[in-house]
Amino acid sequence: ACSAPGSKSTQLGLWLQAEYGGGLLVANELDKRRAASLRANIISAGLTNTMVTCVDGQVLGSLAPGQFDAVLADVPCSCEGNSRKNAVSLLGVQLDGVSSNTKAPAAIEPLVELQARILRSAWQALRPGGCLVYSTCTFNRWENEAQCERLMNEFKAKALDVPSLLGMPAELAGEFGSLRMWPHTFDIEGFFVACFVKDADSVAAQLGHATHQERWSGFAQLRSLTSAELNSLRDQARRQLGFWLSDGGMTDDANLRTGTDGEVWLLPSLGDGLDSLAEHCWEPGIPIARAQRSGGGTDGEGPKVFRLSKELLLFAGDRASGPLAALMTEEQWESLYINVKEASPVRGMH
Give catalytic residues, as residue numbers.
137
CA distance 30 to 27: 10
CA distance 132 to 122: 8
What Cα–Cα distance (Å) separates residue 288 from each residue in 43, 128, 320?
11, 37, 14
Segment 323-327 long-range contacts (CB within 8 Å, at least 24 positions apart)? 323/240, 324/240, 324/241, 325/241, 325/242, 326/242
- Neighbour count for residue 1 (Cβ, 10 Å): 22
With beta carbons less than 8 A apart as the criterion, state whether 135 and 195 touch. Answer: no
- Per residue, what are the HEC states of 241-252? HCCCCCHHHCCC
69 by DSSP, 3-state: which?
Answer: strand
The distance in angstroms from the start CA to the end CA of the chain is: 23
- Neighbour count for residue 292 (Cβ, 10 Å): 12
User: How many C-alpha atoms does 58 have within 13 Å on its Cβ side?
Assistant: 12
**Phi, psi for 112 (deg, rounded to 5):** -60, -40
Q: What angle do CA 13, 18, 21 make, to 5 degrees?
A: 90
